[in-house]
Amino acid sequence: MSDGDYHLDTLNWRLRAIVGEENVSQMEPMSEHTTFRIGGPADLYVVPDDVEEVADVIAACREEHVPYFVLGCGSDLLVSDDGYRGVIVALADGLTNVSVDGEEMTCQAGVTLKEASEMACELGLSGLEFACGIPGSVGGACYMNAVAYDGCMADVLKEVRVLTPAGDVCDLGVDELDLGYRHSRIADEGLVVLSATFALTRADGEKIRQKMDDLTHRREEKQPLDLPSAGSTFKRPEGHFAGKLITDAGLRGYQVGGAAVSKKHAGFVVNVGGATAADVHAVIEHVQAEVERQFGVRLQPEVRFLG
Ligand SMILES: Cc1cc2nc3c(=O)[nH]c(=O)nc-3n(C[C@H](O)[C@H](O)[C@H](O)COP(=O)(O)OP(=O)(O)OC[C@H]3O[C@@H](n4cnc5c(N)ncnc54)[C@H](O)[C@@H]3O)c2cc1C
């Protein structure tokens, strides 16, 4: 944080007053908060503990005209080597309550999909099996409309509680979220997901467990889970599979610095050791250029870039 930056300095004190000294850090390395294990420092990193604190933190950022970014589990993010100039509002450590009412389960935004699916399984509630291996938070999954195997968020969501940029809290039904492939109104309108309610169905806990075990097994067989990554690097191009195009282009294992196209699943760029964001960008750009040259298809990144 630069000494001359009045707004950030003021904001630093305001945020400490809202969430407590111990929940604000300066120059926080984002490599510790992303599954890629990549990313330079964020000016301020704030962990609100409840919905009121989230609203107050964001209001303070807006009043001080300092950019902010809402972070879940950092599993779909590539943060630049220079880091982020502004405030990271980290929800995965604070907003972690879950409540159950009959077949409906409401999870705060920071609950992980693994926790949510495990809890549903234990309660004999089916619907979230598809999500058990996605390493994201409920909030991030709503934002991205997470999808895996035979399920997606749109299938199980009933409604989400959001904070609008104006500071209002409101409930939006799933039909109001405009959920599509890697798309949501949440992203378009800069809404912050505070919690999500899932409409699940009663089922045999053993069957739910079997399905989750099967999907986990399939994931472990196909995906390079032993190396840091942000999952699928590219969106699925219409009529194609990104991984197949990349393999057919001869790019499996293509490496720049510490970043490489996974040899196990060419749709993933992995951090094979000490990768920088610049390394990952170089791999992404080469893959895009080569696949386009050979097959006329322009791959679009699924991973979100920050900083
Ligand atoms: C090994 C691996 C496997 C994966 N497999 C899958 C898969 O099968 N299917 C799939 O869909 N994805 C997959 N992913 C990608 C990723 O896990 C999902 O996109 C996930 O939903 C991102 O959630 P997150 O909490 O990590 O979000 P983050 O990476 O923290 O953030 C992603 C975006 O969501 C926004 N966001 C986060 N929380 C909120 C909130 N509360 N309110 C508003 N916006 C918010 C952020 O601002 C950011 O723009 C995989 C990733 C990895 C590393």
With a cut of 90, say whether residue 115 has pLDDT above it. yes
Q: In percent, how much of the chain has pLDDT > 70? A: 98
Q: Which CATH class is domain 98-208?
A: alpha beta
**pLDDT of the residue at 302:** 95
Atom of ligand 1 nearest to the CA of 110: 41
Tally the C-alpha atoms within 13 A of residue 24's C-alpha that lie toward its C-beta: 20
Catalytic residues: 182, 232, 302
* CA-nearest residue, atom 34 of ligand 1: 140
Among protein residues, the one with the nearest Cα to ligand 1's atom 40 is: 139
Q: Which atom of ligand 1 is nearest to the CA of 36?
A: 53
| Residue 137, CA distances (Å) to 70, 81, 114, 222, 228 in order | 12, 24, 8, 22, 17
pLDDT tens, 290-305? Answer: 999 999 999 999 999 9
Architecture, CATH, for domain 6-90 = 2-Layer Sandwich (3.30)
User: Can you give the pLDDT at residue 4?
Assistant: 46
Q: Answer yes or no: is pLDDT of 68 > 70.
A: yes
Q: What is the CATH number of domain 224-306?
A: 3.90.78.10
Q: Taking residues 139-144, what's their average pLDDT?
A: 94
Atom of ligand 1 nearest to the CA of 73: 26
Given this model, what pLDDT does residue 181 score? 82
Average pLDDT (98-127) is 97
Residue nearest to atom 27 of ligand 1 (CA): 140
Q: Residue 144 Cα, ligand 1 centroid: separation in angstroms?
A: 6
Q: 304 alpha carbon to ligand 1 midpoint, in Å?
A: 9
Q: What is the pLDDT of residues 258-284, one digit of tens each?
A: 999 999 999 999 999 999 999 999 999
Neighbours of 97 (CB within 10 A): 13
Percent of the chain with pLDDT over 90: 93
Nearest of 136, 140, 41, 18 to residue 87 by alpha carbon: 41
Alpha carbons within 13 A on the beta-carbon side of 89: 30
- CATH 3.30.43.10 in the chain, residues? 6-90
Closest by CA to 263, choosing from 254, 273, 252, is 252
Nearest to 65 by CA among 8, 133, 137, 124: 8
Alpha carbon distance 234, 211 (integer Å): 27
Order of strands across the sheet that contains 98-101: 98-101, 104-108, 192-199, 157-163, 169-173
Q: At what angle do helices 6-19 and 51-63 cross, to 10 degrees?
A: 170
- Tell me if 172 CB under 6 Å of ligand 1: no
pLDDT at 6: 61
Position with higher pLDDT, 166 vs 30: 30
Q: Is 35 in the pocket of ligand 1 (CB under 6 A)?
A: yes
CATH 3.90.78.10 maps onto the chain at: 224-306
156-170: average pLDDT:
95
pLDDT, mean over the chain: 95
* Average confidence (pLDDT) over 230-243: 96
Confidence of residue 183 (pLDDT cuts 50, 70, 90): confident
